[in-house]
Amino acid sequence: MPLWLREHSWRQTLTAVYLSLPLRGARATPANIFCSEQYLKVSIPPFLFEAILYAPIDDTNSTAKIGNGNIFFTLYKKEPAMWDSLTLANADKEKLQYLRENAVLKAHEKAKEETEAKKITKQEHKKYALEATMKVEEAERKRIEDLKEKERQKVAKELELWKNQQKNGDKYKSLQKKGELHQKPEPLKERKSEKIDKTRIPNEGTSKTRLKSTKGHGSCSIFSQNLKEEHLPAPRAAATIKVNFTPRVFPTALRESRVAEEEEWLHKQAEARRIINSDLSELEDLKEEEKNPDWLKDKGNKMFAMGDYLGAVNAYNLAVRLNNKLPLLYLNRAACHLKLRNLHKAIEDSSKALELLTPPVPANENARVKAHVRRGTAFCQLELYTEGLQDYEAALKIDPRNKNIEKDAEKIRHLIQGTMQIS
């Protein structure tokens, strides 16, 4: 049960009501105060004060001042009139309840409206800002367009001027030219050219139409042009120059170089796949899938992964009998032999793999690195350190960024130096 605060005091004027509510030690915040048109509530648990006001007030403008253990309300009446009392005296429970709910609802609506209004104003502000920036940009663009347009027009005018000059200048020149070309007396020429004028579409129109007017100039220029003609040297004596093109390190221009090699490699691979050494009688005993070198290779890889090295070797052997041109088979078999410590066989297989991995292209880089590393390892385990080092260095050349290979190469170098010192 809340504790009702009843010791309030109030006074009024025609337009306002002043209500003072002592708080009995409780601390109030704005959140505790709830006010609507005709309902006022202050709830600071466990204290409670509520009042159904005598007449409606303007709750947006009314204020409440919190301080000194007191709340001081300034309520502006909606209608200026003197109230008989602060609260409605004959308020029964139901009416109270109804009023309360109403008040709450009203407050909600008000809050909503306020947020709506806020949103709208915000949007309008944004819009306005946007329009302003658009206008500014538009103006800028227009300015640039105008500049461009002006430039264009200026230039176009100059062009027209030049064209007209051309036409006028051409008069005299063209007449001379016509004279030289045909080398006939002037009047005849003119008639001919006039005829030509009428029948043909005048693409060289300007020069021809002028012929009528300018007569005199032709004669002298005919002769000068004639002289010039004679000065032209005779056609050259025919000769042939043989050319060589740049010798090819790469078959084609720089940007195409690797394509050729890659294609060779792919071609080789494709061929290798097609070879099937099918002359073995035991083949009939095998199942279909066991005749496929790829399947066998996969089988071998699985067995290697599980640690069954002998089984893997068998698988690879069979695969090699079927197709002895796949470098990967030899490569993997070399790895198995390493694990089985068949070092000589490992070296043999790595060598064969490397042989098959020509031409050296980026596509088979990985395989070549592995082959070199495996052969190198085998050499080292046979204590042929110099050969091993050679292989490691070859691997490093192909893939300089591999730290493991680098470390191993260093180890071998130290070993070599160690043994040399001893011996």
393 phi and psi angles, rounded to 5 deg: -70, -35
In degrees, to the nearest 5, what angle opens at C-alpha 384 toward C-alphas 378 and 385? 95
Question: Which residues have a Cβ under 8 Å from the Cβ of 335 and sit 6 or more positions away?
Answer: 304, 346, 370, 374
- Beta-carbon contacts of 47 under 8 Å, excluding residues fewer than 6 positions away, are 2, 3, 4, 5, 23, 24, 26
Token pair, residue 273, equals: 């796949």
Please name the helix (run of DSSP H) or strand (run of DSSP E) that holds residue 71, with its range, or none. Answer: strand 70-76
Inter-axis angle of helices 385-398 and 365-381, nearest 10? 160
Asked whether position 163 contacts other proteins by CB under 8 A, the answer is yes
Answer yes or no whether residue 226 interacts with other proteins by CB under 8 A: no
Question: Considering beta carbons, is residue 124 or 204 the nearer one to other proteins?
Answer: 204
Q: Which of 349, 269, 354, 359 is nearest to 317 (CA)?
A: 349
| Residue selected from 101, 131, 140, 151 as contacting other proteins according to rule CB under 8 A | 151
To other proteins, the closest distance from the beta carbon of 213 in angstroms equals 18
The first and second tokens of residue 295, run together, are 């399947």
Return the number of the residue (170 or 406) whose C-beta is nearest other proteins: 170
**Number of residues counted as binding other proteins (CB under 8 A):** 43
Task: Output 275-282 pairs: Cβ under 8 A, ≥24 positions apart.
Answer: 275/323, 275/324, 275/325, 276/322, 276/323, 277/321, 277/322, 277/323, 277/324, 278/322, 280/321
Task: Find the shortest distance in angstroms from Cβ 228 to other proteins.
Answer: 9
C-beta closer to other proteins: residue 238 or 422: 238
Q: Is 152 in the site for other proteins (CB under 8 A)?
A: yes
For residue 232, state whether it binds other proteins (rule: CB under 8 A): yes
- Report the residue count for the chain: 423
Does the protein bind other proteins through residue 244 (CB under 8 A)? Answer: yes
Minimal CA–CA distance to 49: which of 35, 62, 61, 37? 35
Out of 203, 213, 281, 423, name the contact with other proteins by CB under 8 A: 203
Alpha-carbon distance of 13 to 143, in angstroms, equals 66
Give the nearer residue to other proteins in terms of CB position, either 120 or 181. 181
Closest contact distance (angstroms) between CB of 152 and other proteins is 6
Q: Is 88 helix (H, G, I), strand (E, B) or coil?
A: coil
46 three-state secondary structure: coil
Q: Does 236 bind other proteins (CB under 8 A)?
A: yes
- Quick one: 164 or 417, whose CB is closer to other proteins? 164
Say which amino acid occupies 254. Answer: L
By CB under 8 A, residue 145 contacts other proteins: no
Kindly indicate which of the ranges 69-77, 82-90, 103-111, 151-159 contains the residues binding other proteins, using the contact rule CB under 8 A.
151-159
State in angstroms the smallest separation of the CB of 208 from other proteins: 9
Residue 243 makes contact with other proteins by CB under 8 A: yes
DSSP string, 290-352: GG-HHHHHHHHHHHHHHT-HHHHHHHHHHHHHH-TT-HHHHHHHHHHHHHTT-HHHHHHHHHH
Peptide bond into 56 cis (omega under 30): no
Q: How far is the CB of 143 from other proteins (least distance, A)?
A: 15
For other proteins, the binding residue among 14, 89, 201, 305 (CB under 8 A) is 201
CB of 362 to other proteins, least distance (A): 20
Choosing from 124, 160, 194, 289, the residue that interacts with other proteins (CB under 8 A) is 160
Give the range of 42-50, 104-112, 148-156, 305-313 binding other proteins by CB under 8 A: 148-156
Q: CB of 167: closest distance to other proteins in angstroms?
A: 9
Q: Where are the alpha helices (DSSP H) in 14-55?
A: none
Site for other proteins in 169-198 (CB under 8 A): 170, 173-174, 176-178, 180-181, 196
Does position 217 interact with other proteins (CB under 8 A)? The reply is: no
Cβ at position 219, least distance to other proteins in Å: 16
173/413 with CB nearer other proteins: 173
In 3-state terms, what secondary structure has residue 48?
Answer: strand
State phi, psi for 72 to the nearest 5 degrees.
-115, 110
Q: Closest CB to other proteins among 254 and 420?
A: 254
Task: Find the largest Cα–Cα distance for the chain.
Answer: 135
Among 200, 258, 267, 397, the residue binding other proteins under the rule CB under 8 A is 200
Please identify, among the stretches 69-77, 107-115, 149-157, 342-350, the one whose residues bind other proteins according to the rule CB under 8 A: 149-157
Provide the binding-site residues for other proteins, judged by CB under 8 A: 148, 151-152, 155-156, 159-160, 162-163, 166, 170, 173-174, 176-178, 180-181, 196, 200-201, 203-204, 206, 232-246, 252-255
